Amino acid sequence: MSTERILVRGSPLQAGVIGAYLASRWLGPGRSLELAVGTEDKATGSFATRPSVHRFHAEMGLPIDQLFARCGGSPILAAETRTADGAAVQLPFSAFGVPRGGVEFHQYWLRASRLSQQADLTEFSLSLALQNAAHKPPLAQLEQLPVDFGIAFDRSAYGNALLSFAKAGGASVIEASSEQAQSASLVIQCSSDAQAPKWQGQELNIAQQSGISGLEWHALSSATRRFANLAAPLSDCVPEQAEWTRLALAQRERMADMQELLNIEDPLASTRPALQRKAEVFAACGRIPTEDYEVFTPPEWLAALWARGVRPRRSDRMAERLTDSQLLDWLDQLRGQIASLTRQVQAA
Amino acid sequence: MGANEGKRAINRVVVVGGGTAGWMTAAGLASMLGQTGLEITLVESEAIGVVGVGEATLPHIKNFNDTIGVNEAEFMAATSATFKLGIEFVNWGRKGDSYIHPFGEFGLPNAGVAFHQYWRKFAGRPGVGALDEYSLPVIASRMGKFQPPSEDPRSVMSTYRYAYQFDALQYAPFMRTHAEARGVTRMEGKVVDVTLEPESGRVSALTMDDGRVVEGDLFVDCTGFFGLLIEKTLSAGYDDWSEWLPADRAVAVPCESDGPLLPYTRATAHEAGWSWRIPLQHRTGNGHVYSSQFLSDDAACDTLLDGLEGERLADPRFLRFVTGKRRKLWSRNVVAIGLSGGFLEPLESTSIYLIQEGITKLLELFPANQDCDVEVAEYNRWMDLQFERVRDFLILHYHATERDDSDFWNHMRTMNVPDSLAERLELFTAHGHVSAYDHGLFLVPSWVAVLIGQRVLPSSFDARVSGQADAEVLRHLAGLKGHMEKAAGSMEDHAAYLTRNNMMRAAA
C-alpha cells in the first residue's frame, strides 16, 4: 500500500494551524504529513481567533486553557475592524440584549426608542461591555457567562505551540526550499492574494482573508476542518474536492459580503445579492435574512449594518405585545443588569 | 412624520378557508399578534368540504403548538392523536425491503466521524445488522414503545424527537377553538366575489353569498387546490414539478384499527406510487398516491382496499393534484398557505410543516402597511427554498431504487434529477459524505436514512475510520446496539402511555 503524503506550505502560524489539526484528525497508518515552514511571515503581535476556536481545539485534543496560558491568551468578545473611511467597528459575537417571545432584542429597542430617548443599542451588549472593559475576565469566569468568545494569542507563540503539537502528533517539519518540499500526494498552501479557494488534483489552496480580526484564523481553521471532514483517499476524491470547493467559495462570498458592507458608500445599493437583501430587509423591518454557510453571526451583521447607518423603518409587530411601561421597565432592568454584571466581573 | 405614516396600515387580516391551514394560520396570528390590535376574520363555508391534509406530521409541529400555547394532553385527546417516532418505508429500494426514517440520530459520532461511516465499513458482517438497528427511535417504533426524550444531552434518550399523527378533521376544529378564544371572528358563508383596488390590483374586499362584504388589509388564501385569491383572482402562476414527481392522484379511505397502536407512519411502495397507513386512536388513515399516467383509478383503489388492515369506515375519496408550487406564494396583499400555495405528496409528512413555515415567516415579516415589497420578496425567496429542498428529498425516494418491476419504477429510476440532488448523490456514493445545508428541513441523518435504507451504499467510507482497530469498532457497535435495545425496552407501551397521561379521546 502506498503512503499518502500531504505537504503543507505556509508561514509558521499557517503550517501550525493546519498541521496540528491534520496531525490529530487525519494522520494515521499509511499517511505522512510534512510541514514546509517558510520564513516569509512578517506579521507579529496578536493573532485573533473566533468563538469556534474552542471546538477546533477540543477536536484536536489540545486544551484551550493550556494554550491560553502558554501563548499570552486574551479573550475576544467581538471582532474588530474599520470601515473604508477609518471608523472603528466592533462586531459582537453574542446577541444584543436577550430575545423575548421569539423576537430579537433590537426590535424591542427600536420600539422603545420611538417612545422615549434610549441609550445606544451597543449599551445593551454584554459582549461589547466586556470587550471594552479595562480588564478582561479570566477564562473560567467567561465560560460561566452567556457570551461567546474567541481568543487572541501571541502570533509567534501560538504558531510555535501548534507546530510543536503537530510534530508530537507525527508531522515532520522540513525546509521549504528542500527537494522534499516540491511535491506530494496533496499540497496544501495558503495564498495571501485574492486567489479563489480551490481543491483540484494535487493542490488545495486556502485563500487568506484579512481586514476583520479573526478572519485569517477562520479561513485556515474552517478550510482544514472541512478537508478532514471530507476524508477520502487522495487518489480518489473528485466529489469531495468539488464539495470542499463549493463550501469554501460559499463562505468566501459571505466574507466578501461583510467586507463590502463595511466599505461601500450605500449598502442598499450593493450589487452583491445576499448583501443587498440583508440591507433591504433590515431597513424594511429590522430582520436580517441569513444564507447557507454564514461566517458571521446575526449580532455581527446587526452591528455592521448599524455602524454603516442602515436603520429599520419600523420594529417587528410582535414587539408590540408588551405595554409601553412593561417595555421601558424591561429595558431599564436589562441595561442595569449588564452594567452590574460588568462591574462584578471587573471587581472579581 | 415617520416613514410609515400616510400609507394604509395593516390591521385587518382575512383568512379565507377553514381547513387545517386556515385555522392554523388564524390561531398562529391571533396568538402572536392578537394583543397588538390585529383583527383576524376567518371566512369558511360548511358547504365546502375540507381535504383534511396532513394527518401525519414532523417534530416541528410541537414547537408551533408550544409557541401558541397548546396543551399537549388536551390536543392529543381532542384530535385522537398518537405519537410518531418516524416513518417506515416498505418496498422502496427493492420489493420486500423495509426501513424506518427516524426522527433522530443513528448511533453516536466518534472522533468527529459520523456513525454511519463506521457502520458502512462493517455492513454485512455477522451481528452488525442494519443501520436502523442503531437508532433508538427505530428500535422503540418496532417495539411499539414511546417515551418523551430526555433533556440531558449525555443520555441516549436525548437522541430523538417526536411528532404526532392526528385526525385532521378533528384538528381544524381544535385550532378553531384555540383561535376563537384569542379573538378570531368566524364568518360562515361562501365567497362569491372578490373586489380589487383599481390602481394597485390588491384585494380590498370579499362579497359573501348572503351579500355581506368583508374588507381586509391582508388576505391569507387557504382555499386549498382551488386557490380562490392567489390563482383565480391574482393569477400568480404555478411551477409544475410533475417532471420529477409524476404522482397526480390519491385515493383515501379510513378503516378500523387493528392491532397495536404503532408510533410510526408507514409508506408502502406499489406498482405506480405508494400507500400511507397512519394509526390514530380511533381508526387508521389510509391512502394511495399514484400516477394516472401509469395506473388507472380503479386499479389504484383496488390496491388500497386490498391492503386495508381493518374494516373500511367510509367510501374511498379521490383527489387530483399537480405537484409543484405557486410562482409567488405572496402576491400583492395575498399570502397562499397550505394547498393553495402548492402541493408536495405527503411521503415525508411535510404538508403541515410547510403550512407552519408559511405562518412563521409571515409573522416574522408581518408588514406594517401596504408598502411591503421587500418583505414580500423575502417571504417568497424563503418559501421557494423550503419547497425546493423538500422536493429534492422526495425525488430521492423514487430515484434511489433498484425496482424494475413496472414502467413507473423504470421511469423514476432512470430519469434525470435536479443538479442539486445529482451532486449530493455523487458525493454520498463515493465515501458516504453528506452535503449539508443550513436552511432546509431535512438534516444529515434523514438523508442517510433514506439513502442507506434504499440500498445506496457508498462504495467506500470515510478514510478516518481505518485509523481505529476493527475489533475495537466492532465491540463499540455491539455495545451501542445493546444499550439502545435496553433503553427502548425500558420505555412504556405507546397505548399505555397515552392512557396514563389522559391523552385518549373519550368515546362518543
- Mean of the pLDDT values across residues A304-332? 96
Q: Is A29 on the interface with B (CB under 8 A)?
A: yes
Q: Is the pLDDT of residue B91 over 50?
A: yes
- Mean of the pLDDT values across residues A95-108? 95
What chain A residue is nearest to B382 in terms of C-alpha separation?
A: A289
Q: Any bridge partners for residue B198, and if so which?
A: none
Q: Is the pLDDT of residue B120 over 60?
A: yes
Q: Among residues B62, B84, B325, B361, which one is catalytic?
A: B84
What chain B residue is nearest to A281 in terms of C-alpha separation?
A: B374
Please give the Cα distance from A227 to A218 (Å, whole number): 14
- Mean of the pLDDT values across residues B194-220? 97
Count how many residues are written for chain B: 508
The predicted-structure confidence for B353-385, as pLDDT tens digits, reads as follows 999 999 999 999 999 999 999 999 999 999 999
- C-alpha cell of A230? 471530507
Please give the Cα distance from B205 to A39 (Å, whole number): 74
B438–A318 C-beta distance less than 8 A: no
- Pick from A185-199, A247-261, B172-186: least confident: A185-199
Rounded alpha-carbon distances, angstroms, from residue B201 to B43, B197, B370: 21, 5, 12
- Average pLDDT of the residues of chain B: 94
- Mean of the pLDDT values across residues A162-169? 97
Please give the Cα distance from B469 to A249 (Å, whole number): 36
Sole residue written with cell 495571501: A192
- C-alpha cell of B360? 412563521
Q: Any bridge partners for residue A150, and if so which?
A: A76
Q: Is the pLDDT of residue A41 over 70?
A: no
CB A165 within 8 A of CB A60: yes
3-state secondary structure string, B383-416? Answer: HHHHHHHHHHHHHHHHHCCCCCCCHHHHHHHHCC
Report the CATH number at residue A41: 3.50.50.60
Chain B residues within an 8 Å CB radius of A229:
112, 433
Q: Is B125 exposed, middle or buried (0-12, 13-18, 19+ CB in 10 A)?
A: exposed
CB A233 within 8 A of CB B464: no
Report the complex ipTM: 0.94
Q: Is the pLDDT of residue B465 over 50?
A: yes
Q: Quick one: pLDDT band at residue B3, thresholds 50, 70, 90?
A: very low
A232–B462 C-beta distance less than 8 A: yes
Chain A residues within an 8 Å CB radius of B366:
316-318
- Mean of the pLDDT values across residues B316-322? 95
- Mean of the pLDDT values across residues B26-47? 96
Residue of B451, B402, B460 lying closest to B424 (CA atoms): B451
- Mean of the pLDDT values across residues A87-95? 96
- C-alpha cell of A302? 446587526
Q: Quick one: pLDDT band at residue B38, thresholds 50, 70, 90?
A: very high
Domains of chain A: total: 1
- Pick from A36-50, A259-273, B170-184, B413-427: least confident: A36-50
Helix ranges (DSSP H) in chain A: 12-25, 53-60, 64-70, 105-115, 126-131, 139-142, 155-168, 215-229, 238-263, 273-285, 298-307, 324-347
Please give the Cα distance from B312 to B285 (Å, whole number): 10
Instruction: End-to-end CA distance of chain B: give it in Å, rounded.
Output: 60
Please give the Cα distance from B40 to A301 (Å, whole number): 34
B4–A239 C-beta distance less than 8 A: no
How many other C-beta atoms can be found within 10 angstroms of the C-beta atom of residue B45? 15
- Mean of the pLDDT values across residues B79-100? 97
CB B338 within 8 A of CB B171: no
- C-alpha cell of B389? 429542498
User: Which three-class secondary structure state does DSSP give residue B176?
Assistant: helix
In this predicted structure, what is the pLDDT of residue A192?
64
Does any domain span residue A28?
yes
- C-alpha cell of B485? 435495545
Residue type, B32: M
The residue among B1 and B243 whose pLDDT is bigger is B243
- C-alpha cell of B431? 465515501
Q: Quick one: pLDDT band at residue A95, thresholds 50, 70, 90?
A: very high
- C-alpha cell of B451? 439513502
A28–B464 C-beta distance less than 8 A: yes
In this predicted structure, what is the pLDDT of residue A344?
87
Element (H, E) at B325: strand B324-326
- Mean of the pLDDT values across residues B75-93? 97
Q: Is the pLDDT of residue A112 over 70?
A: yes
Chain A residues within an 8 Å CB radius of B423:
239, 242-243
Buried b (16+ CB within 10 A) or exposed e, A162-182: bbebbbebebebeebeeeebe
Does any domain span residue A136?
no
Please give the Cα distance from B94 to B401 (Å, whole number): 7
In this predicted structure, what is the pLDDT of residue B507?
73
Sign, CA torsion B299/B302/B307/B312: positive
Closest Cα of chain B to A285: distance in Å? 7
Pairing of strands A198-200, A203-207: antiparallel
In this predicted structure, what is the pLDDT of residue B5?
47
- C-alpha cell of A63? 486544551
Q: Is the pLDDT of residue A59 over 90?
A: yes
Chain B residues within an 8 Å CB radius of A231:
113, 431, 462-464
Element (H, E) at A32: strand A31-37
**Domain extent for A52:** 4-93+148-315
Q: Is the pLDDT of residue B113 over 80?
A: yes
CB B350 within 8 A of CB B404: no
Closest Cα of chain A to B220: distance in Å? 18
Q: Is A277 on the interface with B (CB under 8 A)?
A: yes
Q: Is A115 on the interface with B (CB under 8 A)?
A: no
3-state secondary structure string, B10-22? Answer: CCEEEEECCCHHH
CB B329 within 8 A of CB B358: yes
DSSP count for chain B of H helices, then E strands: 14, 23
Q: Residue B132 contacts by C-beta under 8 Å, 6 or more apart in sequence?
A: B99, B100, B102, B106, B138, B449, B453
The predicted-structure confidence for B270-293, as pLDDT tens digits, reads as follows 999 999 999 999 999 999 999 999
Please give the Cα distance from B301 to A162 (Å, whole number): 67
The predicted-structure confidence for A255-304, as pLDDT tens digits, reads as follows 999 999 999 999 999 999 999 999 999 999 999 999 999 999 999 999 99
- Residue range B12-55+166-240+328-385 forms a domain whose CATH class is alpha beta
- C-alpha cell of A212? 476583520
How many other C-beta atoms can be found within 10 angstroms of the C-beta atom of residue B414? 9
Q: What is the DSSP code (8-state) at residue B150?
A: P
B430–A240 C-beta distance less than 8 A: yes
Chain B residues within an 8 Å CB radius of A25:
111-112, 464
Asked if B84 is an active-site residue, the reply is: yes
Does any domain span residue A59?
yes
Which of A59, A233, A285 lies at the smallest CB-CB distance from B463? A233
CB B458 within 8 A of CB B428: yes
- Average pLDDT of the residues of chain A: 92
Q: Is the pLDDT of residue A166 over 70?
A: yes
The predicted-structure confidence for A216-239, as pLDDT tens digits, reads as follows 999 999 999 999 999 899 999 999
In this predicted structure, what is the pLDDT of residue B1?
36
Chain A residues within an 8 Å CB radius of B466:
28-30
DSSP result, B220-247: EE--GGG-IIIIIIT---EEE-TTT---
What chain A residue is nearest to B33 in terms of C-alpha separation?
A: A318
